[in-house]
Structure 1
């Protein structure tokens, strides 16, 4: 009877170890996926803004840096890029 409990405990520990290791690898990938998704949405927002901005003459370049800033910071990042663009 004691060997059966030992085997169950070993399998339980192995399964918990697999879950912990997989969590260590999945967590950064979730962050990276969210960062990529937000950057793509930021680029899409810039494209839409530039489409309507052609009527007012305001244009913000769509590149990796501006998409990443808007993806990370959201609306405050967009406002910051817009202010820098208008001041320069």
Structure 2
């Protein structure tokens, strides 16, 4: 009732294939999660700028484009949005 070498190698190969498939499926989920978190951080930054900007006259419109820019670029993105707001 011993385990043959061929069967043992088949089990190991199946486990490796399952591991590879799981790793490939998790990468896009991590990327999507990271983009969502960055978008939320961008929204918080924009809200903070608008709250503090009330006192100095700075206002940035909050929409999906500004949230994406602030999310991808972070603080430099918010500074860029402030500069663009004053140029246009």
Q: Same fold (TM over 0.5)?
A: yes
User: Structure 1: 5+ residue runs without aligned partners?
Assistant: none
Report what 1:76 is aligned to.
76
Inter-partner Cα distance in structure 1 for 2:55 and 2:82 = 16
Inter-partner Cα distance in structure 2 for 1:29 and 1:52 = 35
User: Structure 2: 5+ residue runs without aligned partners?
Assistant: none
Inter-partner Cα distance in structure 1 for 2:60 and 2:10 = 59
Report what 2:8 is aligned to.
8
Q: CA deviation at 1:25?
A: 1.0
Report what 2:48 is aligned to.
48
Inter-partner Cα distance in structure 2 for 1:50 and 1:75 = 14
In the superposition, the TM-score normalised over structure 1's length comes to 0.91
In the superposition, the TM-score normalised over structure 2's length comes to 0.91
Runs of 4+ with >3 A deviation: none
After superposition, the CA RMSD in angstroms is 1.4
